[in-house]
Amino acid sequence: MIDIQGLSKSYQRKPALKNAVMKLEQGKIVGLLGPNGSGKTTLLRILVSELRADSGSVSIDGAKLSPALKAHISGLTTSDFMPEGMTIQEAANTYESFFKDFEMERFHQLLKEVSLSPDLKISSLSKGMKSQFALALTISRKAKLIVLDEPLDGVDPVAREDILRLIAAGFSPDSTLLVTSHLINELERLLDEVYFIQEGEIRYIGDVEAIRAEKQMSLDELYREVYRR
Amino acid sequence: MTTLLKYEFNKLKKKSLWSMVTILIFAAFFLTAGYSSGQRINWDMPLLQQFLGMLSFFGLGILMILTFVAPFISSLFLFHHDLNDKHAVFEAYIPEPGWKRLTAKYIIYFLYILAGITISGVLAYLTFMVIKTAAPPNIRFGLNVEIASGLFLEIIKYILNAALGFMPIIVFVNFFVTLHAVIRHKIKGAVPVTWLTAAAAGISLSWLMDKLTAAQSGWFTGSILGLDPEMIFTFILAAIAFIWIARMLDTKTELK
Protein backbone atom coordinates (compact mmCIF):
# COMPACT_ATOMS: atom_id res chain seq x y z
CA MET A 1 0.00 0.00 0.00
CA ILE A 2 1.30 3.41 -0.99
CA ASP A 3 0.13 6.06 1.45
CA ILE A 4 0.42 9.74 0.57
CA GLN A 5 -0.64 12.03 3.41
CA GLY A 6 -1.03 15.81 3.33
CA LEU A 7 1.65 16.43 0.72
CA SER A 8 2.19 20.11 -0.09
CA LYS A 9 4.73 21.89 -2.22
CA SER A 10 5.29 25.50 -3.22
CA TYR A 11 7.69 27.07 -5.68
CA GLN A 12 8.90 30.35 -4.19
CA ARG A 13 5.69 30.63 -2.14
CA LYS A 14 3.48 29.81 -5.11
CA PRO A 15 1.57 26.65 -4.15
CA ALA A 16 1.81 23.79 -6.66
CA LEU A 17 0.39 20.97 -4.56
CA LYS A 18 -2.06 21.41 -1.72
CA ASN A 19 -2.46 18.83 0.99
CA ALA A 20 -2.53 15.82 -1.38
CA VAL A 21 -3.95 12.59 0.02
CA MET A 22 -3.86 9.31 -1.93
CA LYS A 23 -3.99 5.63 -1.08
CA LEU A 24 -2.77 3.36 -3.85
CA GLU A 25 -3.29 -0.38 -3.75
CA GLN A 26 -1.01 -3.08 -5.12
CA GLY A 27 -1.83 -4.44 -8.59
CA LYS A 28 -3.71 -1.35 -9.73
CA ILE A 29 -3.07 1.14 -12.48
CA VAL A 30 -4.06 4.51 -11.10
CA GLY A 31 -4.48 7.61 -13.23
CA LEU A 32 -3.81 11.13 -12.01
CA LEU A 33 -5.52 13.26 -14.59
CA GLY A 34 -5.56 16.98 -15.03
CA PRO A 35 -4.55 19.83 -17.31
CA ASN A 36 -0.99 21.10 -17.81
CA GLY A 37 0.28 22.95 -14.75
CA SER A 38 -2.20 21.36 -12.37
CA GLY A 39 0.47 19.80 -10.10
CA LYS A 40 0.68 16.24 -11.50
CA THR A 41 4.39 16.38 -12.27
CA THR A 42 5.21 18.00 -8.94
CA LEU A 43 3.58 15.11 -7.08
CA LEU A 44 5.39 12.49 -9.15
CA ARG A 45 8.73 14.25 -8.85
CA ILE A 46 8.34 14.25 -5.06
CA LEU A 47 7.64 10.51 -5.15
CA VAL A 48 10.91 9.84 -7.04
CA SER A 49 12.97 12.26 -4.87
CA GLU A 50 13.57 14.82 -7.62
CA LEU A 51 11.76 17.36 -5.43
CA ARG A 52 11.08 17.55 -1.68
CA ALA A 53 7.71 18.17 -0.16
CA ASP A 54 7.28 21.19 2.13
CA SER A 55 5.03 19.09 4.35
CA GLY A 56 3.28 15.74 4.45
CA SER A 57 4.57 12.20 4.07
CA VAL A 58 4.85 9.31 1.65
CA SER A 59 5.17 5.72 2.79
CA ILE A 60 5.32 2.38 1.04
CA ASP A 61 4.11 -0.54 3.16
CA GLY A 62 4.67 1.62 6.25
CA ALA A 63 8.23 2.70 5.37
CA LYS A 64 8.78 6.44 4.86
CA LEU A 65 10.58 7.89 1.82
CA SER A 66 14.36 7.53 2.20
CA PRO A 67 17.38 6.73 0.00
CA ALA A 68 16.89 3.03 0.76
CA LEU A 69 13.21 3.14 -0.22
CA LYS A 70 14.18 4.34 -3.70
CA ALA A 71 15.00 0.68 -4.39
CA HIS A 72 11.23 0.10 -4.46
CA ILE A 73 10.25 3.04 -6.65
CA SER A 74 10.68 3.11 -10.40
CA GLY A 75 10.17 6.50 -11.96
CA LEU A 76 9.86 8.06 -15.37
CA THR A 77 9.51 11.82 -15.33
CA THR A 78 11.55 12.48 -18.48
CA SER A 79 12.62 10.19 -21.31
CA ASP A 80 16.10 11.70 -21.51
CA PHE A 81 17.71 10.83 -18.20
CA MET A 82 20.64 8.48 -18.73
CA PRO A 83 24.27 9.71 -18.95
CA GLU A 84 25.42 10.81 -22.40
CA GLY A 85 26.99 8.42 -24.89
CA MET A 86 25.42 5.20 -23.58
CA THR A 87 23.85 2.56 -25.78
CA ILE A 88 20.47 1.10 -24.83
CA GLN A 89 22.22 -2.05 -23.57
CA GLU A 90 24.71 -0.07 -21.46
CA ALA A 91 21.83 1.85 -19.90
CA ALA A 92 20.09 -1.45 -19.11
CA ASN A 93 23.31 -2.83 -17.58
CA THR A 94 23.54 0.27 -15.41
CA TYR A 95 19.93 -0.22 -14.31
CA GLU A 96 20.57 -3.89 -13.57
CA SER A 97 23.59 -3.05 -11.42
CA PHE A 98 21.71 -0.50 -9.31
CA PHE A 99 18.25 -2.04 -9.09
CA LYS A 100 17.94 -5.64 -7.94
CA ASP A 101 14.35 -5.78 -9.23
CA PHE A 102 15.37 -5.03 -12.83
CA GLU A 103 14.55 -7.91 -15.20
CA MET A 104 16.84 -7.89 -18.22
CA GLU A 105 14.86 -10.58 -20.06
CA ARG A 106 11.66 -8.62 -19.70
CA PHE A 107 13.43 -5.48 -20.89
CA HIS A 108 14.59 -7.23 -24.07
CA GLN A 109 11.08 -8.55 -24.68
CA LEU A 110 9.68 -5.03 -24.36
CA LEU A 111 12.35 -3.68 -26.71
CA LYS A 112 11.31 -6.30 -29.27
CA GLU A 113 7.69 -5.17 -28.93
CA VAL A 114 8.69 -1.73 -30.18
CA SER A 115 11.46 -2.95 -32.53
CA LEU A 116 14.36 -1.22 -30.79
CA SER A 117 17.85 -2.70 -30.98
CA PRO A 118 19.89 -2.75 -27.73
CA ASP A 119 22.98 -1.64 -29.69
CA LEU A 120 21.50 1.73 -30.61
CA LYS A 121 23.06 4.80 -29.01
CA ILE A 122 20.53 6.71 -26.90
CA SER A 123 21.65 9.98 -28.48
CA SER A 124 20.65 8.64 -31.91
CA LEU A 125 17.03 7.90 -30.90
CA SER A 126 14.09 10.04 -31.96
CA LYS A 127 11.82 11.53 -29.28
CA GLY A 128 9.26 8.74 -29.69
CA MET A 129 11.95 6.03 -29.58
CA LYS A 130 13.47 7.63 -26.48
CA SER A 131 10.07 7.55 -24.78
CA GLN A 132 9.65 3.86 -25.66
CA PHE A 133 13.16 2.96 -24.48
CA ALA A 134 12.80 4.90 -21.21
CA LEU A 135 9.41 3.37 -20.57
CA ALA A 136 10.75 -0.15 -21.21
CA LEU A 137 13.59 0.54 -18.77
CA THR A 138 11.19 1.83 -16.10
CA ILE A 139 8.58 -0.91 -16.29
CA SER A 140 11.17 -3.69 -16.47
CA ARG A 141 11.66 -3.13 -12.77
CA LYS A 142 9.43 -5.11 -10.45
CA ALA A 143 9.17 -2.11 -8.13
CA LYS A 144 6.42 -1.67 -5.56
CA LEU A 145 5.59 1.73 -7.01
CA ILE A 146 6.02 2.70 -10.66
CA VAL A 147 5.33 6.32 -11.61
CA LEU A 148 5.01 7.50 -15.19
CA ASP A 149 4.67 11.19 -15.92
CA GLU A 150 2.89 12.03 -19.17
CA PRO A 151 4.20 8.98 -21.06
CA LEU A 152 2.09 9.96 -24.09
CA ASP A 153 3.27 13.55 -24.24
CA GLY A 154 4.99 14.77 -27.39
CA VAL A 155 4.81 11.50 -29.33
CA ASP A 156 2.87 10.79 -32.52
CA PRO A 157 -0.36 8.73 -32.44
CA VAL A 158 1.36 5.52 -33.65
CA ALA A 159 4.05 5.77 -30.98
CA ARG A 160 1.29 6.49 -28.43
CA GLU A 161 -0.33 3.18 -29.28
CA ASP A 162 3.03 1.43 -28.84
CA ILE A 163 3.50 3.10 -25.48
CA LEU A 164 0.04 2.08 -24.26
CA ARG A 165 0.77 -1.47 -25.44
CA LEU A 166 4.10 -1.42 -23.59
CA ILE A 167 2.49 -0.29 -20.35
CA ALA A 168 -0.18 -3.00 -20.60
CA ALA A 169 2.41 -5.69 -21.46
CA GLY A 170 4.97 -4.61 -18.90
CA PHE A 171 2.78 -4.02 -15.86
CA SER A 172 3.30 -6.54 -13.08
CA PRO A 173 0.45 -7.23 -10.63
CA ASP A 174 3.00 -7.03 -7.79
CA SER A 175 3.38 -3.32 -8.48
CA THR A 176 1.24 -0.21 -8.24
CA LEU A 177 1.37 2.02 -11.27
CA LEU A 178 0.63 5.72 -10.96
CA VAL A 179 0.38 7.42 -14.32
CA THR A 180 -0.38 11.04 -15.18
CA SER A 181 -1.70 12.51 -18.39
CA HIS A 182 -3.66 15.41 -19.73
CA LEU A 183 -4.71 13.14 -22.63
CA ILE A 184 -7.54 11.58 -20.64
CA ASN A 185 -9.29 9.81 -23.54
CA GLU A 186 -6.22 7.91 -24.65
CA LEU A 187 -5.18 6.70 -21.21
CA GLU A 188 -8.67 5.80 -19.98
CA ARG A 189 -8.72 2.18 -21.16
CA LEU A 190 -5.61 1.32 -19.07
CA LEU A 191 -6.85 2.61 -15.75
CA ASP A 192 -8.34 0.82 -12.76
CA GLU A 193 -8.75 3.87 -10.53
CA VAL A 194 -8.64 7.56 -11.10
CA TYR A 195 -7.84 10.81 -9.30
CA PHE A 196 -8.41 14.25 -10.79
CA ILE A 197 -6.18 17.19 -10.06
CA GLN A 198 -6.63 20.88 -10.64
CA GLU A 199 -4.65 23.81 -9.26
CA GLY A 200 -2.77 21.48 -6.94
CA GLU A 201 -5.87 19.98 -5.35
CA ILE A 202 -6.38 16.25 -5.73
CA ARG A 203 -9.81 14.67 -5.74
CA TYR A 204 -10.45 10.91 -5.59
CA ILE A 205 -12.94 9.90 -8.26
CA GLY A 206 -13.04 6.14 -7.89
CA ASP A 207 -13.03 2.88 -9.78
CA VAL A 208 -13.08 3.51 -13.54
CA GLU A 209 -15.42 0.58 -14.37
CA ALA A 210 -17.85 1.64 -11.68
CA ILE A 211 -17.83 5.24 -12.94
CA ARG A 212 -18.59 4.11 -16.48
CA ALA A 213 -21.39 1.81 -15.33
CA GLU A 214 -22.86 4.32 -12.91
CA LYS A 215 -22.56 7.59 -14.80
CA GLN A 216 -22.59 6.30 -18.38
CA MET A 217 -19.88 8.71 -19.41
CA SER A 218 -16.19 8.68 -20.26
CA LEU A 219 -13.54 10.00 -17.86
CA ASP A 220 -12.97 12.97 -20.13
CA GLU A 221 -16.67 13.87 -19.97
CA LEU A 222 -16.65 13.36 -16.23
CA TYR A 223 -13.59 15.59 -15.84
CA ARG A 224 -15.33 18.37 -17.76
CA GLU A 225 -18.41 17.92 -15.63
CA VAL A 226 -16.52 17.91 -12.33
CA TYR A 227 -14.59 21.06 -13.16
CA ARG A 228 -17.41 22.55 -15.35
CA ARG A 229 -15.13 23.28 -18.32
CA MET B 1 30.30 0.80 -3.59
CA THR B 2 31.83 -1.12 -6.54
CA THR B 3 28.73 -0.40 -8.64
CA LEU B 4 28.90 3.30 -7.83
CA LEU B 5 32.64 3.43 -8.62
CA LYS B 6 32.06 1.64 -11.92
CA TYR B 7 29.23 4.03 -12.78
CA GLU B 8 31.28 7.13 -11.94
CA PHE B 9 34.29 5.79 -13.83
CA ASN B 10 32.24 5.01 -16.96
CA LYS B 11 30.66 8.44 -16.84
CA LEU B 12 34.07 10.11 -16.60
CA LYS B 13 35.50 7.85 -19.32
CA LYS B 14 32.70 8.83 -21.73
CA LYS B 15 33.26 12.51 -20.93
CA SER B 16 37.06 12.68 -20.99
CA LEU B 17 38.15 9.87 -23.33
CA TRP B 18 38.45 12.12 -26.39
CA SER B 19 40.26 14.85 -24.44
CA MET B 20 42.83 12.27 -23.30
CA VAL B 21 43.23 10.86 -26.82
CA THR B 22 43.70 14.42 -28.18
CA ILE B 23 46.33 15.19 -25.53
CA LEU B 24 48.21 11.96 -26.31
CA ILE B 25 48.14 12.66 -30.08
CA PHE B 26 49.48 16.18 -29.52
CA ALA B 27 52.11 14.91 -27.08
CA ALA B 28 53.26 12.29 -29.60
CA PHE B 29 53.42 14.96 -32.31
CA PHE B 30 55.41 17.45 -30.19
CA LEU B 31 57.80 14.76 -29.01
CA THR B 32 58.42 13.51 -32.54
CA ALA B 33 58.93 17.10 -33.67
CA GLY B 34 61.35 17.70 -30.78
CA TYR B 35 63.41 14.59 -31.36
CA SER B 36 63.50 15.08 -35.12
CA SER B 37 64.85 18.63 -34.73
CA GLY B 38 67.68 16.75 -33.03
CA GLN B 39 69.99 19.55 -31.96
CA ARG B 40 70.16 22.77 -29.98
CA ILE B 41 67.92 25.48 -31.36
CA ASN B 42 70.01 28.32 -32.80
CA TRP B 43 69.74 30.91 -35.52
CA ASP B 44 72.05 28.97 -37.88
CA MET B 45 69.58 26.07 -38.11
CA PRO B 46 67.19 25.72 -41.05
CA LEU B 47 63.98 27.62 -40.33
CA LEU B 48 61.87 24.45 -40.29
CA GLN B 49 64.11 22.82 -37.69
CA GLN B 50 64.02 25.98 -35.54
CA PHE B 51 60.26 26.03 -35.82
CA LEU B 52 59.94 22.33 -34.96
CA GLY B 53 62.21 22.70 -31.94
CA MET B 54 60.28 25.68 -30.57
CA LEU B 55 56.93 24.09 -31.35
CA SER B 56 57.93 20.92 -29.53
CA PHE B 57 59.19 22.78 -26.48
CA PHE B 58 56.25 25.15 -26.09
CA GLY B 59 53.69 22.50 -27.11
CA LEU B 60 54.93 20.13 -24.44
CA GLY B 61 54.96 22.93 -21.90
CA ILE B 62 51.33 23.81 -22.61
CA LEU B 63 50.32 20.13 -22.51
CA MET B 64 52.07 19.75 -19.15
CA ILE B 65 50.09 22.63 -17.66
CA LEU B 66 46.87 21.35 -19.24
CA THR B 67 47.24 17.80 -17.96
CA PHE B 68 48.16 19.14 -14.51
CA VAL B 69 45.17 21.45 -14.01
CA ALA B 70 42.49 20.18 -16.42
CA PRO B 71 41.35 17.16 -14.32
CA PHE B 72 41.07 19.42 -11.27
CA ILE B 73 39.09 22.10 -13.12
CA SER B 74 36.82 19.54 -14.75
CA SER B 75 36.29 17.83 -11.35
CA LEU B 76 34.97 21.16 -10.06
CA PHE B 77 32.26 21.02 -12.72
CA LEU B 78 31.45 17.28 -12.73
CA PHE B 79 29.40 17.44 -9.53
CA HIS B 80 27.56 20.52 -10.81
CA HIS B 81 26.60 18.51 -13.91
CA ASP B 82 25.46 15.60 -11.73
CA LEU B 83 22.94 17.89 -10.03
CA ASN B 84 21.86 19.92 -13.06
CA ASP B 85 22.19 17.94 -16.30
CA LYS B 86 19.67 15.48 -17.73
CA HIS B 87 21.31 12.51 -15.98
CA ALA B 88 20.69 14.22 -12.60
CA VAL B 89 17.26 12.55 -12.77
CA PHE B 90 18.83 9.09 -12.91
CA GLU B 91 21.18 9.96 -10.04
CA ALA B 92 18.17 10.98 -7.96
CA TYR B 93 16.77 7.46 -8.51
CA ILE B 94 19.91 5.65 -7.24
CA PRO B 95 19.00 3.88 -3.99
CA GLU B 96 22.26 4.61 -2.16
CA PRO B 97 22.88 7.06 0.70
CA GLY B 98 24.49 10.40 -0.13
CA TRP B 99 27.79 9.66 1.64
CA LYS B 100 28.35 6.56 -0.50
CA ARG B 101 27.55 8.37 -3.74
CA LEU B 102 29.82 11.22 -2.74
CA THR B 103 32.69 8.93 -1.68
CA ALA B 104 32.54 7.15 -5.05
CA LYS B 105 32.65 10.50 -6.86
CA TYR B 106 35.60 11.75 -4.82
CA ILE B 107 37.61 8.53 -5.25
CA ILE B 108 37.19 8.86 -9.03
CA TYR B 109 38.00 12.61 -9.00
CA PHE B 110 41.12 11.93 -6.92
CA LEU B 111 42.33 9.18 -9.27
CA TYR B 112 41.55 11.40 -12.26
CA ILE B 113 43.59 14.29 -10.80
CA LEU B 114 46.38 11.88 -9.82
CA ALA B 115 46.46 10.49 -13.36
CA GLY B 116 46.59 14.04 -14.79
CA ILE B 117 49.49 15.07 -12.55
CA THR B 118 51.35 11.82 -13.30
CA ILE B 119 50.93 12.31 -17.06
CA SER B 120 52.11 15.88 -16.59
CA GLY B 121 55.19 14.50 -14.78
CA VAL B 122 55.88 12.03 -17.59
CA LEU B 123 55.61 14.86 -20.11
CA ALA B 124 58.04 16.91 -18.01
CA TYR B 125 60.50 14.01 -18.14
CA LEU B 126 60.09 13.64 -21.90
CA THR B 127 60.54 17.40 -22.35
CA PHE B 128 63.73 17.15 -20.31
CA MET B 129 64.88 14.41 -22.67
CA VAL B 130 64.14 16.64 -25.68
CA ILE B 131 66.15 19.45 -24.11
CA LYS B 132 68.94 17.01 -23.31
CA THR B 133 69.02 15.81 -26.92
CA ALA B 134 69.04 19.37 -28.21
CA ALA B 135 71.69 20.61 -25.78
CA PRO B 136 75.21 21.42 -27.03
CA PRO B 137 77.77 18.63 -26.41
CA ASN B 138 79.64 20.57 -23.71
CA ILE B 139 76.56 20.63 -21.45
CA ARG B 140 76.08 17.41 -19.53
CA PHE B 141 72.98 16.25 -17.64
CA GLY B 142 74.11 13.74 -15.08
CA LEU B 143 72.21 12.11 -12.22
CA ASN B 144 73.71 9.51 -9.92
CA VAL B 145 71.52 6.74 -8.48
CA GLU B 146 71.35 8.29 -5.02
CA ILE B 147 70.15 11.67 -6.24
CA ALA B 148 67.80 10.03 -8.74
CA SER B 149 66.08 7.83 -6.11
CA GLY B 150 65.75 10.81 -3.74
CA LEU B 151 64.30 12.88 -6.54
CA PHE B 152 61.89 10.08 -7.42
CA LEU B 153 60.54 9.98 -3.85
CA GLU B 154 60.21 13.77 -3.81
CA ILE B 155 58.26 13.64 -7.07
CA ILE B 156 55.88 10.97 -5.71
CA LYS B 157 55.38 13.06 -2.55
CA TYR B 158 54.76 16.15 -4.65
CA ILE B 159 52.18 14.34 -6.85
CA LEU B 160 50.27 13.02 -3.82
CA ASN B 161 50.44 16.41 -2.11
CA ALA B 162 49.17 18.24 -5.17
CA ALA B 163 46.33 15.75 -5.77
CA LEU B 164 45.27 15.77 -2.10
CA GLY B 165 45.57 19.56 -1.99
CA PHE B 166 43.00 19.91 -4.75
CA MET B 167 40.39 17.77 -2.95
CA PRO B 168 39.30 20.23 -0.19
CA ILE B 169 38.74 22.92 -2.85
CA ILE B 170 36.49 20.51 -4.76
CA VAL B 171 34.54 19.66 -1.58
CA PHE B 172 34.00 23.36 -0.71
CA VAL B 173 32.88 24.24 -4.23
CA ASN B 174 30.55 21.22 -4.22
CA PHE B 175 29.08 22.38 -0.92
CA PHE B 176 27.80 25.56 -2.55
CA VAL B 177 26.66 23.69 -5.67
CA THR B 178 24.58 21.50 -3.33
CA LEU B 179 23.34 24.50 -1.37
CA HIS B 180 22.08 26.01 -4.63
CA ALA B 181 20.23 22.77 -5.41
CA VAL B 182 18.57 23.02 -1.98
CA ILE B 183 17.33 26.60 -2.29
CA ARG B 184 16.66 26.87 -6.03
CA HIS B 185 12.88 26.41 -5.74
CA LYS B 186 12.58 28.23 -2.42
CA ILE B 187 14.32 31.55 -3.02
CA LYS B 188 13.89 33.71 -6.10
CA GLY B 189 17.51 34.85 -6.42
CA ALA B 190 19.00 31.46 -5.55
CA VAL B 191 22.07 31.92 -7.78
CA PRO B 192 23.25 35.31 -6.40
CA VAL B 193 22.38 34.18 -2.86
CA THR B 194 24.59 31.11 -3.33
CA TRP B 195 27.46 33.19 -4.78
CA LEU B 196 27.23 35.72 -1.95
CA THR B 197 27.15 32.97 0.69
CA ALA B 198 30.16 31.30 -0.93
CA ALA B 199 32.07 34.59 -1.04
CA ALA B 200 31.22 35.39 2.59
CA ALA B 201 32.23 31.86 3.68
CA GLY B 202 35.47 32.06 1.66
CA ILE B 203 36.47 35.41 3.20
CA SER B 204 35.57 34.24 6.73
CA LEU B 205 37.54 31.00 6.34
CA SER B 206 40.55 32.83 4.98
CA TRP B 207 40.44 35.26 7.93
CA LEU B 208 40.06 32.35 10.36
CA MET B 209 42.99 30.50 8.79
CA ASP B 210 45.13 33.63 9.00
CA LYS B 211 44.31 33.92 12.70
CA LEU B 212 44.93 30.26 13.41
CA THR B 213 48.10 29.77 11.46
CA ALA B 214 49.58 33.26 11.71
CA ALA B 215 52.38 33.50 9.15
CA GLN B 216 51.46 30.76 6.76
CA SER B 217 48.02 29.95 5.48
CA GLY B 218 46.23 28.92 2.32
CA TRP B 219 45.46 25.78 0.43
CA PHE B 220 48.85 25.08 -1.06
CA THR B 221 51.30 26.50 1.44
CA GLY B 222 51.12 23.50 3.74
CA SER B 223 52.08 19.94 3.08
CA ILE B 224 49.33 17.41 3.63
CA LEU B 225 51.71 14.49 3.99
CA GLY B 226 53.74 16.51 6.49
CA LEU B 227 50.49 17.14 8.44
CA ASP B 228 50.92 20.90 8.66
CA PRO B 229 48.37 22.52 11.03
CA GLU B 230 46.63 24.60 8.35
CA MET B 231 46.13 21.53 6.20
CA ILE B 232 44.73 19.54 9.14
CA PHE B 233 42.33 22.41 9.78
CA THR B 234 41.41 22.48 6.06
CA PHE B 235 40.75 18.76 6.09
CA ILE B 236 38.57 18.95 9.20
CA LEU B 237 36.51 21.66 7.50
CA ALA B 238 36.33 19.57 4.31
CA ALA B 239 35.14 16.56 6.34
CA ILE B 240 32.35 18.67 7.90
CA ALA B 241 31.39 19.97 4.44
CA PHE B 242 31.38 16.39 3.10
CA ILE B 243 28.97 15.17 5.80
CA TRP B 244 26.75 18.21 5.24
CA ILE B 245 26.66 17.68 1.45
CA ALA B 246 25.78 13.99 1.96
CA ARG B 247 22.93 14.94 4.29
CA MET B 248 21.59 17.53 1.84
CA LEU B 249 21.75 14.99 -1.00
CA ASP B 250 19.64 12.56 1.05
CA THR B 251 16.93 14.91 2.20
CA LYS B 252 17.13 18.43 0.77
CA THR B 253 18.42 18.73 -2.80
CA GLU B 254 15.96 19.34 -5.61
CA LEU B 255 16.40 19.11 -9.36
CA LYS B 256 15.57 21.90 -11.80
Cβ contact, residue pair B14, A86, below 8 Å: yes
- How far B250 CA lies from chain A's nearest CA (Å)? 6
- The 10s digit of each residue's pLDDT in A170-205 is 788 888 999 998 877 778 888 889 898 988 888 888
Of A52, A86, A90, the CB nearest to B254: A52
Interchain pair A51, B254: CB under 8 A: yes
Average the pLDDT over each of A165-169, A175-179, B127-131, B181-185 and give the range with the smallest value.
B127-131
Determine which helix (DSSP H) or strand (DSSP E) holds A181, and give its type and residue range. strand A176-181
CB contact under 8 A, B185 and A11: yes
More confident call, A140 vs B220: A140
ipTM for the assembly = 0.85
The pLDDT of residue A90: 92
Query: For all residues of chain B together, what is the average pLDDT?
Result: 81
In this prediction, residue B148 carries a pLDDT of: 64
Mutation target among B2, B90, B93, B102 for the A interface, most CBs of A within 10 A? B93
A94 pLDDT tier (thresholds 50, 70, 90): very high
Supply the pTM of this predicted model: 0.82
Which is more confidently placed, A186 or A124? Answer: A124
How far does the CA of residue A94 sit from the closest CA of chain B (Å)?
7
For the stretch B150-169, pLDDT in tens is 677 777 777 787 778 888 88
Residue B40 has pLDDT above 60, yes or no: no
Closest A-chain CA to B252: A52
pLDDT at A229 over 60: no
**A128 near A159, Cβ under 8 Å?**
yes
**Facing B92 at nearest CB: one of A48, A69, A86:** A48
CA distances from B86 to A82, A83, B89, B177, B221 (A): 7, 7, 6, 16, 39
Closest residue, chain A, to B2 (C-alpha): A97
Say whether B87 and A94 touch across the interface (CB within 8 A): no
Q: What's the pLDDT band for B227 if we cut at 50, 70, 90? A: low
Q: Kindly indicate the confidence band of residue B214, based on its pLDDT and cuts at 50, 70 and 90.
A: low
> Does an H or E element contain A49, and which?
none
Our CA-based measurement puts residue B51 at a distance from the nearest CA of chain A, in whole angstroms, of 39
Would you state the pLDDT for residue B16? 79
Which residues are within 8 A (CB) of B243 and not within 5 positions of it... i.e. 6 or more apart?
Answer: B99
Residue B220's pLDDT band (boundaries 50, 70, 90)? very low
Under DSSP, is residue B178 helix (H, G, I), strand (E, B) or coil? helix
Q: Do B90 and A45 touch (CB under 8 A)?
A: no
The SS3 of residue A14 is: strand
| Percent of chain B scoring above 70 in pLDDT | 80
- A32: CB partners within 8 A, 6+ apart: A40, A43, A44, A178, A179, A180, A194, A195, A197, A202
Across the interface, whether the CB atoms of B96 and A99 are under 8 A apart is answered no
CB interface of B with A, residues 22-61, below 8 Å: none
Q: How confident is the model at residue A7 (pLDDT cuts 50, 70, 90)?
A: very high
